[in-house]
Amino acid sequence: MIEPTDADRLREEMVAHQIEARGVRAPLVLAAMRKVRREGYVPAHLREFAFRDAALPIEEEQTISQPFIVALMVAALELEGGEKVLEVGTGSGYAAAVLAEIAGSVYTVERRAPLAALATERLHRDGYRNVCVRHGDGTLGWPEHAPFAAIAVAAAAPDVPPSLYEQLEPGGRIAIPVGGRVGQELLLVVRSPEGPAVLRSVPCRFVPLVGSEGFDRG
């Protein structure tokens, strides 16, 4: 069992050595990563590994992304605070909590009902009242609450789902892994009058985004 004081120290070391030292310098992102208790978003028997820079297995045979990737994705969105954000792929709820420390409201969609329920419990436990979790097809977004200033997608798609792009406000950004089941790139795409504009790409590896506008269509 990790004592609270040890967890605080380990989390600080995680941010300093795994995130800030590797180039993520956005103050709001670093502050959020220091505050959110990653150990509370992994299965109990894996909590001692929560501060390692590695993806970990969670329920429903899914994973929680490594801390650096979460920080990199959130930093790429360039949130200033108070925005409305969509997340696709709630998973454990960890990234939604990080986003909630910065954004005004976070809408997150998870296709696996047990994960959506667990994430809701964890986020409620930690006091994140500005997060709404929905069980559904994340590739279709959450049109009732569009447009969004930013969208973070936690699984790899064959291309940018049209529904997600259309739910961005003008100038809004989407961070999404794109590619096959291997050979993926984490893209930062902005909505512009000329169409989708890719601002940057980073090699990555994510689980497939399943849904009507992802893999396994129909």
CATH number at residue 106: 3.40.50.150
Residue 5 has pLDDT above 50, yes or no: yes
Residue 127 pLDDT greater than 90, yes or no:
yes
Q: Is 15 part of any domain?
A: no
* Predicted local confidence at residue 68, as pLDDT: 96
* pLDDT at residue 182, rounded to an integer: 74
C-alpha to C-alpha distance for 136 and 11, rounded to whole angstroms: 32
In a domain, 12, yes or no: no
Structural domain boundaries enclosing 149: 55-204
Angle between helices 67-76 and 27-35 in degrees, nearest 10:
140
Q: Taking 80 as the threshold, does the pLDDT of residue 2 lie above it?
A: no
> What's the pLDDT band for 180 if we cut at 50, 70, 90?
confident
Token digits of residue 10: 């380990």
Domain contains 46: no
DSSP code, position 130: T
Residue 31 domain-assigned (yes or no): no
> What per-residue confidence (pLDDT) applies to 217?
56
End-to-end CA distance of the chain: 44
Of the candidates 21, 94, 70, the one whose C-alpha atom is nearest the C-alpha of residue 177 is 70
Tell me which of 3-7, 83-87, 115-119, 164-168 is least confident: 3-7
Instruction: State yes or no: pLDDT of 128 exceeds 60.
Output: yes
The per-residue pLDDT for 107 is 98
The encoded tokens of residue 53 equal 């820079």
Identify whether 25 is part of a domain.
no
Q: Counting beta carbons within 10 angstroms of the beta carbon of residue 91, is it exposed (0 to 12), middle (13 to 18) or buried (19 or more)?
A: buried
Give the predicted TM-score (pTM) of the model: 0.94
Output the six-digit token pair for 82.
């108070």
Query: What is the separation of C-alpha 152 from the centre of its chain, rounded to a whole number of angstroms?
Result: 5
Q: Is 65 in the active site?
A: yes
Number of folded domains that form the chain: 1
- How far is Cα 75 from Cα 63, in angstroms, rounded to an integer? 21
What pLDDT, on a 0 to 100 scale, did the predictor assign at position 218? 44
The rounded mean pLDDT for the chain is: 94
Active site residue: 65, 92, 105, 192, which one?
65
- In a domain, residue 183? The reply is yes
The whole-angstrom separation of Cα 84 and Cα 64 is: 23
What CA–CA distance (Å, rounded) separates 180 from 10?
35
Residue 211 lies in a domain: no
Asked if the structure places residue 13 within a domain, the reply is: no
Q: Are strands 195-204 and 184-192 parallel, antiparallel or unpaired?
A: antiparallel
Distance separating alpha carbons of residues 122 and 204, to the nearest angstrom: 27
